[in-house]
Structure 1
Amino acid sequence: MSTATNPGLRANVLGAADTVVMAVAGSAPAYSLASTTAVLAGAAGLVGPAALLWCAIPMLGIAWAFNYLGRLDVNAGASYSWVGRALHPALGFLAGWSLVVSATIFMVAGSLPAGQYTLSLFSASLAQNTWAATGVGAACFLVMAALVLLGAQITARAQWIMTTVEVAILLVFGVAALIHGGHAAVFSWSWIWGFGHFGGVKGFAAAALIAAFYFWGWDVTANLSEETSDSKKNSGFGGLVGVIGVFALFEVVTIAVNLIISQDDLANPDSPPLLTTLGDTVWPGVGGKILVLAVMLSTIATLETTLIQVTRSLFAMGRDKTVPSVFGLAHRRWQTPWVALAVVVVVSLGLFVGSNALGSVNKILADAVAAIGLQISVYYALAGLAVVVAYRKLILRSAANAIFIGLWPLAGAVFMAFLFVENCRSLPGAQLGIGLGALAIGLLPMGWYWAKGSAYYRRGPGLDASEPSGDGVGTSDGPISVAGSSDAEAAAS
C-alpha cells in the first residue's frame, strides 16, 4: 500500500534473469558448502550427496508451491500472506515469524564465516579466534545492510557480479577436483543414493535437516515479488531454476570433498577450512585463496538476500498490523523498509556478541544450522499445504495440475513436517531450545495483535484459485485480491 507518507516498495525493478540470480545468491552455494559440509559429514558421512538429493526432490515441490501461490497473491510477505489466506491467519503469522527468526539467527551464522574466511587470508590462527571473526563479520554485515537500504535494484546489480564469479569458481574447481581424483576415498554410487547408510530414520532426518539448510534462501524471489516485473511468472520461475542450479553445484563439490578430504579431517576443528584444502589440491598455493574469495562473495551475497527476506516479511506484517505498524514504513527516497532493517541490524549485532558464549565458530554454526533447519521446515511445510488448499478445485483438471500443484508440493510439505517432528525428538537441548524458543516468542505479538482486532485476523474469503477477482497487492485494509479464475486456470495448467 502506497500513501503520501509511505510510498511502499518500488515496483518493476527486477526482471526474470534477476530473480534467478537472486535465488542462487540466496542459497549461497559457496557459503553453504564452506560452513555446513563438515556438519553434514558429521551426520551423514560419505553419503552427504544422497542427503542433498533426497532433500532436493521435496524442496523442488515447495518451489512449485511458491510458484503457483505467487501467481495468486503478489505480496512481500510471501508465505506469511499465502498461508494466512489459504489456511488460517494464525498459521500465516507462524509461517512469517518462522522466516523472521530463522533469518535473524542466520545473521550470526552468515557473518561469522565471512569474518573467519577473511581472516584466514592473513592468519590461520586468527581465523579460529571467535571474537576476531565476530568483529570482521559484523563489519561485512553492516556494509550489506547499507546496500539493502539503497534498494533492490542496486542489490541485484551487486548480486550479478558476486554470484557469477562465485558460481564460475565453484564449477571450475569442483569439476577439476572430480577429474583430479583424490586419496581420501574411492567414489561409490552409494554416496548419491545412500540407501542403508544413514543409520535409520533418526540419522536420515538429522542429515536431511542439514541439507534443507543448504537450499534455504532461494525463496527470496517471493519476498521480492512486489518489486519484480511480471511478478506472477518471474518470481516463481527464479525460485525453480535456483533450486535446480544450486543442487547441481552442491552435488559436484560435495562429491569432490569426499574424494579429497578424509572424514577425520572434516571432523577435526583444527583442520584448515575445507574449501581451502580443496582449492590447494587442485591448484597448489593459489587455489585455496581463490575458493576463499568465492566463499567471501557468497557470504556477502547471502547476507544481502537474507536481509531482504526478513525486512520484506516484517514490512508486510507491519503493513497488516500483526507487528508494530512502524515496520510497514518504507523510506521515502529509496522505497525500502528502513525501520525493519534498522531493528534487524540492532538485534543481529546483539546476537553477534551473545553467540560468543556458545563457544567456537564451528559450535555456533552447528547450533545455528540445526535451529534454522527446524524453523524453515515450518514455513515450507505450511506453504506446501497452502497451495493444495488454494488450488483444490483445479488440481484434478489435468495430470500436470495433479503432479505440480497437488502431489509434489504435498509430498514436500509432508517431508518438511517429518523433518520438524523427527528432529524435535532427537536434537540436543541447546539446538532445540534455540529453534523452538525463537518460534515461541512469536506467540506474544500474535496474541497481542489478534486481541487488538488486527484486520489480518478478520480477513474475508480465503485464497482460492477458482474464484474471480481483480489483481492487486495486499494492504492492511483487508483481503488481498487474487487473479481471476481464467488466469488462475491458465497458470495451473
Structure 2
Amino acid sequence: MKEREQLAKTLKPQWVWAIALGSAIGWGAFVQPSVWMGGSGPLGAIIGFSIGAVLMMIIAVSYGFLIENFPVSGGEFAYAFKGFGRNHAYIAGWFLVLGYTCIVALNASALALVLKYIFPAVAEQGYMYNIAGWDVYFVEILIASAALIAFAYMNLRGANLSGKIQFIFVICMIIGVLFLFVGAVMHPETAFSNLQPLYNPDISSWSSIILIVAIAPWAFVGFDNVPQAAEEFNFSPKKGFMLIIFSLICAGLIYVLMITATALAMPWQELVDSQPKWGTGDAMSGLFGNWGILILAVALCMGVFTGLNGFFVSSSRLLFAMGRAKIIPSVFGKLHSKYKTPYAGIIFTCIVCLITPWFGRQVLTWVVNMSSVGVTIAYIYTCVVAYKLFKWSRDSYNPIQAFSAVVAPFKKAFSMVGALTGVVFLGLLLIPSSPAFMGVPSLIALFIWIALGVVFYLIKGPEFRKIPKDEMEYLILGTERNDDTEKSG
C-alpha cells in the first residue's frame, strides 16, 4: 500500500479549545438575543441554552472516547467507517462537507451585517438586485469575499498560525462579553425587573424552552471541530474530551451572558416590539453609547473570525481525510509542499464560499438551516458507533482499573442517550409541526443535496468500492485492519 499523507502534530491544547469555542460562538450570540427572547422570553432562552449545552456534553462523551482511540482527521467520517463501513462513511462525510462549508459562508456574510448596522451608508453601496426579499449590495459581497480570502490564506500558511490567532481572537471575544455583561449589571439604569415576564406569555413555559433547545445542534456546532483536528494534537488525545467539555461550558455561559445583558437594558418586550435591526446593538448603544457599540462590534467580529477560521480548519481536514481515502479526488488528500497543509480543501472551501454572497443572506440561511440536519446526522453516527464499541462492563481484576470498570456502563448509557438525543433533534428539524421546523425552502435544499450525493456516489462508488478493506482501514484510520472491534470503555 502507498504511504498515506499525515498532518504534522503542531496544535497545542489551548489552540484546540479556542477552535472549539470560537467555532461554537459565531455571529448568533451577538445578533440573535432579541430574536430568541421574542420567541422564548429571557429565562426560557437561558434555560434552553443551558439544557442544550448539557445535551451536547452527553453527546461529547462519545466524541471523547472516539478521539482517544482514533485520533485521525475526518472525525465523524472516520467513526462512521469504523462502525459501519465505507458507505456510511460517505454519507456522514457528504453531509458534513456541506454543513462546515455553509457555516464558513454564513460567518463571512455576518461581517456585512455589522457594517450595515454601524455604517449603513457604506455597506449599502452598489445595489445589484433582490433575492428572496434580501437586497444584495456589491460592497457586502466585497467584505465577505475579502474575509474568506484572508482566512483561506492564513490557513494555507499552517496550523501554527491559525491556532495562535484563533486563541487571541477567542480571548478578545471573552473579554468583550464580560465587559458588556458586568457593565450591564452594574449600570444604574438597568434592572432585573426588565426580564419580566420570564417566558413568552403567548406560549407555555415548556414550549418556550423547547424552542431554544431545538436549535442546540446549530448553536453549539463547532465543538465537533476537535476530532477534525485530532491528527494534529501535540498532546495526548485523552485530553480531547475535557477540551470539548470546557468549550461547551464556556459557549453556554457566553449565550447566557449576552441574553441577560440585552434583557437588562430595557423591558425586553419593548425591545422586541420595536423590531430593531439589531436588538443587542440598540441595547448596548442605549447603555454605553458609541463605546458599547464598539465593544459589541469587536466581540462580534472576534466571534465571526473564530468561526471562519475554525470551520476552515474542519472543512479542509474533512476533505483531506476523504481525499486520502479516495472517496473524492485524490488531490484533496495531498499536502502543500512547503506549508504541509491540506491546500486543496482550503482552496475548494474558499471558492465555494465566494459564490454564496451573490445569492443574498436569506438564501444562504435556507441552506445553513438544512445543513443542521447533516450535523445532527453526524452526531447520531458518532454516538451509535461509540455505543457499539463501548462495553457494558470492563473485565478486569486490576484494582487500579476498578474505577474504569464502574464507569464503563455509564459511558455506554451516555452514548445511547446521545444517539436518542440526536434523533430527537433530527425530528424537531424535519417534522413540519415542530416549533423548530427548518422550513420548506430548507427542506427542498436538503433533497437537492441528497440527490447530488446519490449522483456523485453512482459515479465515484464503483471505484471507491474496489479498494480492499485493509487498505481502506489504513487510509482512513492509519492502522492495519483489526478484527477486534470491541474496545473497552
- Coarse TM-score class (shorter-chain normalised): 0.7 to 0.9
- 266, 270, 276: which one aligns with 2:281: 276
- 215, 219, 224: which one aligns with 1:214: 219
Contact 1:27 1:215 in 2 (8 A): yes
| Within-5 A mapping of 1:70-89 | 70-89=67-86
CA distance in 2 between partners of 1:230 and 1:422 (Å):
38
Amino acid at match of 1:63: A
- 423, 430, 452: which one aligns with 2:429: 423
| Other-structure match for 2:374 | 375
CA distance in 1 between partners of 2:98 and 2:446 (Å):
9
CA distance in 2 between partners of 1:2 and 1:123 (Å):
55
Task: Give the SS at the match of 1:331.
Answer: coil
Task: Give the SS at the match of 2:215.
Answer: helix
- 326, 329, 349: which one aligns with 2:331: 326
Task: Give the SS at the match of 1:475.
Answer: helix
Amino acid at match of 2:166: Q
CA distance in 1 between partners of 2:376 and 2:302 (Å):
27
- 443, 457, 463: which one aligns with 1:446: 457
Q: 1:287 to 1:383 in 2, by over 3 A?
A: same
Q: CA deviation at 1:209?
A: 3.3
Q: CA deviation at 1:104?
A: 1.5
**What's the TM-score once normalised by structure 2's chain length?**
0.84
Q: CA deviation at 1:44?
A: 3.0
State percent identity of aligned pairs.
Answer: 17
- 290, 294, 315: which one aligns with 2:320: 315
Contact 2:470 2:481 in 1 (8 A): no
Task: Give the SS at the match of 1:322.
Answer: coil
Matched, 1:23 2:23: no
| Other-structure match for 1:227 | 232
What per-residue deviation string (whole Å, max 9, x for no partner) do you get for residues 268-308 of structure 1? Answer: 66x24233223324422211111101111211111011111
What per-residue deviation string (whole Å, max 9, x for no partner) do you get for residues 443-482 of structure 1? Answer: 33334333224467x63699xxxxxxxxxx9525986668
Matched, 1:459 2:469: yes
**Gapped runs of 5+ residues in structure 1?**
463-472
Which range moves more in the overlay, 299-308 or 133-142? 133-142
| Other-structure match for 2:475 | 475
Contact 2:34 2:271 in 1 (8 A): no
Task: Give the SS at the match of 2:195.
Answer: coil
Task: Give the SS at the match of 2:320.
Answer: helix
CA distance in 2 between partners of 1:256 and 1:317 (Å):
43
Which range moves more in the overlay, 447-456 or 247-256? 447-456
Which range moves more in the overlay, 387-396 or 300-309? 387-396
Task: Give the SS at the match of 2:214.
Answer: helix
| Other-structure match for 1:402 | 409
Contact 1:319 1:475 in 2 (8 A): yes
What per-residue deviation string (whole Å, max 9, x for no partner) do you get for residues 389-417 of structure 1? Answer: 111355797342222x2222322221121
CA distance in 2 between partners of 1:335 and 1:461 (Å):
23
- 234, 241, 248: which one aligns with 1:243: 248
Amino acid at match of 2:417: A
**Gapped runs of 5+ residues in structure 2?**
125-133, 396-403
- 134, 149, 163: which one aligns with 2:156: 149
CA distance in 2 between partners of 1:478 and 1:162 (Å):
33
- 66, 71, 74: which one aligns with 1:69: 66
Task: Give the SS at the match of 2:73.
Answer: coil
Q: CA deviation at 1:159?
A: 1.0
| Other-structure match for 1:170 | 177
CA distance in 2 between partners of 1:480 and 1:110 (Å):
39
Q: 1:383 to 1:115 in 2, by over 3 A?
A: same
Which range moves more in the overlay, 33-42 or 322-331? 33-42
Q: 1:219 to 1:422 in 2, by over 3 A?
A: closer
| Other-structure match for 2:444 | 433
What per-residue deviation string (whole Å, max 9, x for no partner) do you get for residues 157-179 of structure 1? Answer: 11121111111110221233234
Q: CA deviation at 1:98?
A: 1.8
CA distance in 1 between partners of 2:198 and 2:388 (Å):
37
Matched, 1:197 2:205: yes
| Other-structure match for 1:387 | 386
What per-residue deviation string (whole Å, max 9, x for no partner) do you get for residues 131-174 of structure 1? Answer: 23332122111101110111111001111211111111102212
Contact 1:124 1:272 in 2 (8 A): no
Q: 1:352 to 1:439 in 2, by over 3 A?
A: farther
Contact 1:49 1:251 in 2 (8 A): yes
Q: CA deviation at 1:54?
A: 2.0
Task: Give the SS at the match of 2:72.
Answer: coil
| Other-structure match for 1:102 | 99
Q: CA deviation at 1:364?
A: 4.8
Q: CA deviation at 1:484?
A: 10
Contact 1:222 1:236 in 2 (8 A): no
CA distance in 1 between partners of 2:470 and 2:483 (Å):
16
Task: Give the SS at the match of 1:50.
Answer: helix
| Other-structure match for 2:131 | none
CA distance in 2 between partners of 1:217 and 1:334 (Å):
25
Q: CA deviation at 1:352?
A: 2.0
Q: CA deviation at 1:64?
A: 1.5
CA distance in 2 between partners of 1:477 and 1:220 (Å):
17
CA distance in 2 between partners of 1:217 and 1:188 (Å):
32
CA distance in 1 between partners of 2:149 and 2:155 (Å):
10
Matched, 1:160 2:177: no
**What's the TM-score once normalised by structure 1's chain length?**
0.83
Task: Give the SS at the match of 1:221.
Answer: helix
Q: 1:474 to 1:176 in 2, by over 3 A?
A: farther
What per-residue deviation string (whole Å, max 9, x for no partner) do you get for residues 86-122 of structure 1? Answer: 1343222222222110112223311111122134443
Q: CA deviation at 1:429?
A: 0.7
Task: Give the SS at the match of 1:452.
Answer: helix
| Other-structure match for 1:8 | 6
Task: Give the SS at the match of 2:385.
Answer: helix
Amino acid at match of 2:179: V
